[in-house]
Copies of this chain bind each other. A is one copy, B any other.
Amino acid sequence: MDAAGTAMIDDQELAQRLRAAGLKATRARLLVLEVLQETGPHLSTDELVEALDARGTPLPRGSVYNVVGALATHGLMMVTDIGPGRALYELAERWHHHFVCRTCGRIEDVECVVGQSPCLDPGQVDGEVDEAQVIFRGICTKCRD
């Protein structure tokens, strides 16, 4: 059982997904996908780099940005910017929304199905929407006290 309670996907399947998305199944990309599976629901850049280190499969930061950019562009993972220099990464299938505490910056996951509510249907837009990110802001209970 992994951290998010989701079924694990093995390397072969991950490689297939990469190819299906038109990407080569390289070591660096597989490593990032593996770590995203093995760890919690979302990771910051630092957390991703550290997780790779901790697992004995380090990647240089430059490569991490490169990999993350490619995976995100091809819909295999999601990137959410919750503030300047604060990007959150997560596997596409684990994707969810976030509640960010204004005071301590703590992040809580919020389940929220895209397209389910009228508000996540943007209505009249000059293009095709394929994703909706929602960031809730406020104060967490710990900081309120």
Please list the residues of chain A having a beta carbon within 8 angstroms of any beta carbon in chain B. Answer: 73, 81-87, 97, 99, 101-102, 108, 110-113, 116-120, 122-123, 125-141, 143-144
A-B contact pairs, 20 of them (CB 8 A): A81-B86, A84-B85, A108-B126, A110-B125, A112-B119, A116-B118, A126-B141, A127-B139, A127-B140, A129-B138, A130-B138, A130-B139, A131-B137, A132-B134, A132-B135, A132-B136, A132-B137, A133-B136, A133-B137, A135-B135
Nearest chain B residue, comparing its CB with the CB of A132: B136
CB distance from A48 to the nearest CB of B (A): 15
Nearest chain B residue, comparing its CB with the CB of A73: B102
- In the complex, A10 Cα to B137 Cα: how many Å? 29
- In the complex, A73 Cα to B103 Cα: how many Å? 10
CB distance from A26 to the nearest CB of B (A): 23
CB distance from A99 to the nearest CB of B (A): 5
Taking A82-B81, A85-B84, A135-B132 as contacts, is the C-beta distance between A125 and B113 under 8 angstroms?
no
The answer on a CB contact under 8 Å between A125 and B108 is: yes
Taking A82-B81, A83-B81, A84-B85 as contacts, is the C-beta distance between A140 and B126 under 8 angstroms?
yes
Residues in chain B near residue A86, CB distance under 8 A: 81
- In the complex, A84 Cα to B102 Cα: how many Å? 19
The answer on a CB contact under 8 Å between B82 and A129 is: no
Picked from B117, B137, B141, B143, the residue with its CB within 8 Å of the CB of A119 is B117
